[in-house]
Amino acid sequence: MEVDRQRAVAVAADAFRAHGITDADAEQTAEVLVSADARGKHSHGLLRLPRFVRGIESGNVDAAGSIEVVSEKGAAATIRGGSRLGPVVASAAAAEAMDRADEFGVGVVGVRDSNHLGMLGYYTDQLQREGYVGVAITNTEPAMPPYGGAEPVLGTNPIAIGLPTEPVFNLDMSTSAIARGTVLHRKETGEELPADVALDADGQPTTDPAAALEGTILPFGGAKGSGLAIAVEILAGGLVGAAMGTDVTGTYHTTDPCSKGDLFLAIDPDAMGAPDFDEHASDFLTQLTSGEPAAHAEAIRLPGQRSVERDRSATTVEVDDELWAEVRELAGDG
């Protein structure tokens, strides 16, 4: 069903308020979730709200937690999130990265003691809108094996990169063949998975989302996706003092404490000494998208271009009927 965007944000925020979250944190988290739905990324939209609420009810979210810098040296810092809602902590980390980039030309901010942050590309979009090159990574609960393995040890470990260009470039991708949130969304909507993206609990290929959630998701591109996932696991986890591998909990099963980490990078293009970077990069991207599309494609599009443009103009969002009823119930919206 189509829901007015402002109403979707208001009801989602009410659901968080009804569970003890402050006005500001509730509104910020609701905006992040609805933004994902506006982009068509329903796997990270309001579908996640009931899981967020379960995390709150389980005591894994501290509405009064303190977000503070616990380690810093020049352009680098690490933030402890005080177990606040992930979108709130992530936005604070992105802001801290921009502040340090203003002073040092680059800002690198790690995060631990937070919760699931929603759509990772939301934050690189924030960074690029302010004129920075933005990079963000996060690790998640084990969902896929390393290349050549059979047991889930690595998270789906997404990477996002945003550039201050026009047209929009905002890459947001998991290192798995399919995002776990997409698997969850397809389970909720009764859709099958593509072939060759997941194994069931017995290690057999499956197109059943429920079986995939009990089994493993495969890395994209074999050894390449596995290698990136390992790098993200260590940089977003170990480098910031958070958990890695099978020690990571709480990003999917939110009734468990969240132990993952995040890493945000903001680069001031002027500090790199490249004159008119924004203009030159934008010209290059325009050149790319102006080429002749392949026979199977309508147009050449950049990563995130369509979804971000949709988000910026959307006045309504598509929400599953049963999900909307559940969100309204959690909000006490009779």
Number of domains in the chain: 2
d(CA 155, CA 137): 12
Q: What is the pLDDT of residue 115?
A: 98
pLDDT band at 203 (very low <50, low <70, confident <90, very high): confident
Q: Do 158 and 35 lie in a common domain?
A: no
Q: What is the pLDDT of residue 148?
A: 86
d(CA 267, CA 161): 11
Residue 293 lies in a domain: no
Q: Is the pLDDT of residue 250 over 80?
A: yes
Q: Is the pLDDT of residue 334 over 80?
A: no
d(CA 211, CA 77): 40
Domain boundary (272, 287, 303) is at 272
Beta strands in the chain (DSSP E): 2-4, 68-73, 76-80, 106-112, 133-138, 159-163, 169-173, 198-199, 216-217, 262-267, 316-318
Domain boundary (272, 296, 323) is at 272
Q: Do 182 and 322 lie in a common domain?
A: no
Domain boundary (272, 292, 322) is at 272
DSSP letters spanning 185-199 = HHHHHTPPPPTTSEE
Q: Residue 258 gets which letter from DSSP?
A: P
Q: What is the pLDDT of residue 248?
A: 98
Q: How far is CA 248 from the centre of its chain?
A: 16
Tell me the CA distances in angstroms from 128 to 166, 186, 310, one per residue in order: 10, 31, 17
d(CA 66, CA 84): 8
Q: What is the pLDDT of residue 142?
A: 95
Q: What is the pLDDT of residues 93-110, one digit of tens each?
A: 999 999 999 999 999 999
* Mean pLDDT calculated for residue range 195-212: 91
| DSSP SS3 for 160 | strand
d(CA 168, CA 163): 7
Residue 230, amino acid: I
Is the distance from CB of 179 to CB of 196 less than 8 angstroms?
A: no
Q: How far is CA 151 from the centre of its chain?
A: 24
d(CA 101, CA 95): 10
Structure tokens, 65: 């937690």
Q: Do 80 and 163 lie in a common domain?
A: yes
Residue 206 lies in a domain: yes
d(CA 254, CA 181): 13
What's the domain range around 232?
Answer: 68-272
Q: Is the pLDDT of residue 132 over 90?
A: yes
